A and B are shown apart, each in its own frame.
Chain A
């Protein structure tokens, strides 16, 4: 079906308006928690905003701030971030068949994939199938860009205001991030494998933290994930659950 040139722009704007949603509101609130964490860790407002705009994945941002605060080495930081963001790969793979049109150029897919993170993915997987094929790329571009801009502004505003907030409110805002990660990742899990891995990673962290506070996430992730995968594989081979 031929697309009139004006309509891509209209779908882009519609996508941008799509940021008014419950998942976006929760993400924005969690971003306040991130801004507070960055401020407590001695990171400048500019750098916190740059993290939101350029990394665009809250777990990576939180891990990066933690690594800076703990004085982790460059290698340990890269390893932790690489491991925690690997879940973006299957998310991109799952989104592509829904997102792409018949003739969508590859560079557009590379550009758009840069914005795939939990919230954008959840909304896109729910909304895109309702749209005509040719509208999906411009809609997602508008939505993703608006989401990044809004969250970057939120990081700046929250960073500036959080110092003046009552202690209790600031603590409540910090607490949004772990609650958001727990519920949204449990919801995004495809199988029991991820659910068991979540419990294992959580349970292992205190021991790993006592061992080495700069590599604790990497240890808990690799040991907890590998053990869960091993048990899951054993169970599948025996033809159990």
Chain B
């Protein structure tokens, strides 16, 4: 049963964003204040939490690149992957600046688009 279209009304869409989007995000920020210094960042639980959270965001990246919506879907998947990895490689090797990774990745994507699209 899709959650968003459960009730087809603007008030429900807003409620869905708050209940399924905002609260599950804010809860961690508030817990951070509540537990504060009592949390040991290197405990096994916190290590597991960090690993799962990072893996999930990496999966978000993979989904955006491998199963995109809109115009990006017109570019072959392999070229999208090469553009992402190229940007990341530039980030790693050229001083670890986010702006460098973003610009190189974008330049590779533009080159791929000019090459493949009419």
What does the 1/0 interface line of A85-119 toward B look like (CB < 8 Å)?
11111111110110000000010011001101000
What does the 1/0 interface line of A60-98 toward B look like (CB < 8 Å)?
111110111101111111101111111111111110110
Contact between A182 and B21 (Cβ–Cβ < 8 Å)?
no
Q: Is B60 an interface residue (CB 8 A)?
A: yes
What chain B residues lie within 8 Å of A116 (beta carbons)? 29, 32
Contact between A224 and B58 (Cβ–Cβ < 8 Å)?
yes
What chain A residues lie within 8 Å of B13 (beta carbons)? 44, 47
Contact between A91 and B17 (Cβ–Cβ < 8 Å)?
no
Contact size range, B: 35 or more
Secondary structure dominating the interface of A: helix
What chain A residues lie within 8 Å of B70 (beta carbons)? 36-37, 40, 170-171, 174
Residues of B within 8 A of A (CB): 1-6, 10, 13-14, 16-22, 24-33, 35-37, 39, 41, 44, 46-72, 74-75, 80, 83-84, 87-88, 91-92, 96, 98-99, 101-102, 105-106, 109-110, 113-114, 117
Residues of A within 8 A of B (CB): 22-23, 26, 29, 36-37, 40-41, 44, 47, 50-51, 54-57, 59-64, 66-69, 71-78, 80-94, 96-97, 106, 109-110, 113-114, 116, 167-168, 170-172, 174-187, 189-190, 193-194, 196-206, 208-209, 213, 216-218, 220-226, 228-229, 232-233
